[in-house]
Amino acid sequence: MLWWLGAVLFLWLALRELYYSIVPKPGFLQPEPISWPYLLIALGLAIGLASVPWRKIRFEQFLTAKARILSESDQATVHCNTFFDTAVDPMALAAGHANPETGEIVLQKPWCAVLRKYLKHPQRLDDENIFSVQMFAHEAMHVRGERNEAVAECQAIQRYVRAARLLGVPEASAREGGLRYYRSLYQQRRQIGGMLAPYYSVECAPGKRLDEALPDSTWAR
Ligand SMILES: [Zn+2]
């Protein structure tokens, strides 16, 4: 919101400069000659400020389109929380959350930025990037209808490679990220326990009860 306000302010200053180059100011007989540096700086700042929320909207639209495919639900929408959104979000402590009733997926700060950065440089794979893809897939599984955390997490693990490919990640990075999440980060959740314990299940493994035997499963050979 503040970005838009700033953009409108500088756009107004630019238009005002243009206006007074055509129409004389009150009390003046002649219009003032236009100050090109002033006009260009004001316009540049207006565009620069507006581009920040605009890029966020475009990224949300991109994630929404991919979440609809992954969740197999036309209801899915993705919202990237700003600092102010998080301040009034009753689930501010969760890195992300989804509402199976409305299809709304919310990713907290800074996870949209982490994901966007990873998609720009998909060869730079690290634990944060991997977690941002897994979280996107996990929330999509809630929208798909799964409310149980351990089951949604396991469904997301099996669809990690599918999700990463949908987002435009090359095959090698998608597969390495999915396997690294399953073999390392997911297994750590079991050891850490506590708040993470409900997300883990020993049945989430190839051939076990939660294996959906997907043809493109992360752990399929
Ligand atoms: Zn969840």
Q: How far is the CA of 97 from the centre of ligand 1 (A)?
A: 6
pTM of the model as a whole: 0.89
Q: How far is the CA of 182 from the centre of ligand 1 (A)?
A: 16
Q: How far is the CA of 137 from the centre of ligand 1 (A)?
A: 10
- pLDDT of 38 reads 96
pLDDT digits (tens, 9 = 90+) for 185-203: 999 887 887 777 889 999 9
pLDDT for 163 beyond 70: yes
Residue 53, judged by CB atoms within 10 A of its CB (0-12, 13-18, 19+), counts as middle
Mean pLDDT of the chain: 94
Write the single-letter amino acid at 85. Answer: D
Q: How far is the CA of 73 from the centre of ligand 1 (A)?
A: 17
Confidence band for 87, pLDDT divided at 50, 70 and 90: confident
pLDDT digits (tens, 9 = 90+) for 3-20: 999 999 999 999 999 999
pLDDT digits (tens, 9 = 90+) for 141-158: 999 999 999 999 999 999
Closest of 101, 105, 125 to residue 115, by C-alpha = 125
Domain regions of the chain by residue span:
57-199
pLDDT digits (tens, 9 = 90+) for 19-55: 999 999 988 989 999 999 999 999 999 999 999 999 9
Confidence band for 221, pLDDT divided at 50, 70 and 90: low
Q: How far is the CA of 20 from the centre of ligand 1 (A)?
A: 56
